[in-house]
Amino acid sequence: MKIIDAHCHVGQGCGLEGTPHPDPLPQGARAERLLGEMDRCGVSAAVIVPADRCIAVYNTEGNDEVLSAAKRHPDRFIPFATANPWYGDRALDELTRAFDLGAAGLKLHPVIQGFQIIDEICFPLVELAVRLRKPIYFHTGTPVCSSPFQLTELAMRYPEGVFIMGHAAYSDYWNDVSASVKCVPNILIETSQHLASFIRTLVEQVGAEKLIYGSDWPKTDMGIEIEKITRYIAGDDLERILGGNIMRVLGGGG
């Protein structure tokens, strides 16, 4: 079974335990460490996004690191770019540059970047990604910036877009996940950080075709995040969640 991890970080700012201290490894070694973890866990490929400091401020630096890693390992890494919407036209220029260089999607983090999902400040970035048919990953679950129904409202505003609900709103809003996703056809739920029992409940309530596996590595243990899914789910549903759904979103079938 081909496993595709839909959410991993590469860059400075994510310690192995999720601590904010800078990662002392050089850029190339950070990607190599992720490859080692993928090999250990049987993961064929991974979506990679910049880490905390580069999501917040140093967007170009972070985008260049994930794009460079994907260029070195094109069969293993799928780069998603970021841009802080507060940079305005500079953010649009940076995101356009990253897409031109091969970024496959957009990662936005309302908490780190300082906005709410429904704030108009993020609309230009969202519109660029939607126009270019790039999926958009939003961190969700942290009050008051990133609730599931905020993402639902945005998905309704841009019905032609594809939105990924990061971490399935694992912190304070998990009770809203199923209802919010049922309102629209263009949101998928990424599983990292959540309980295995809740992932099983989501399959029952919204269907396996709505879920995609992600680990949020290195903030979590990749093997444990996979086991959360394999413990309760099998067959075609398991194949969809572990790889088929994200490949479909990225245009690779599944």
In a domain, 254, yes or no: no
The model's pTM: 0.94
Full domain range(s) for residue 46: 4-249
In a domain, 50, yes or no: yes
Q: Residue 1's pLDDT is what?
A: 84
In a domain, 194, yes or no: yes
In a domain, 44, yes or no: yes
Q: Residue 250's pLDDT is what?
A: 96
Q: What is the domain count for the chain?
A: 1
10-residue block means of pLDDT along the chain (254 residues)? Answer: 96 54 63 96 98 95 97 98 98 98 98 97 98 98 93 98 96 87 97 94 97 96 97 96 97 60
- CATH at 52: 3.20.20.140
Q: Residue 42's pLDDT is what?
A: 98
In a domain, 46, yes or no: yes
Q: Residue 23's pLDDT is what?
A: 52
In whole angstroms, give the CA distance from residue 107 to residue 202: 23
Q: Residue 175's pLDDT is what?
A: 87
